[in-house]
Amino acid sequence: GGREDKELEERIELLKAFLESADFGRLRSQSEKHLIEGKKVKFVICQ
């Protein structure tokens, strides 16, 4: 319905803003040691 569409649209806008502004070098440096150890890494984007 309309509400789900609006929520999806907001999530897409949030994701776009994150992708445009994120410091991927810093995220990678913080997560790489865990990935090397075979651990799962999850990023949570909050409004």
Residue 20 lies in a domain: yes
Q: How far apart are CA 26 and CA 4, in angstroms?
A: 33
Is 13 part of a structural domain of the chain? yes
Q: How far apart are CA 28 and CA 35, in angstroms?
A: 10
Residue 46, phi then psi, degrees to nearest 5: -110, 150
Is 47 part of a structural domain of the chain?
A: no
Domain count, the chain: 1
Task: Quote the pLDDT of residue 46.
Answer: 79
* pLDDT tens digits, 1-47: 789 999 999 999 989 998 898 898 998 999 999 999 999 999 888 76
Whether residue 43 lies inside any domain: the answer is no
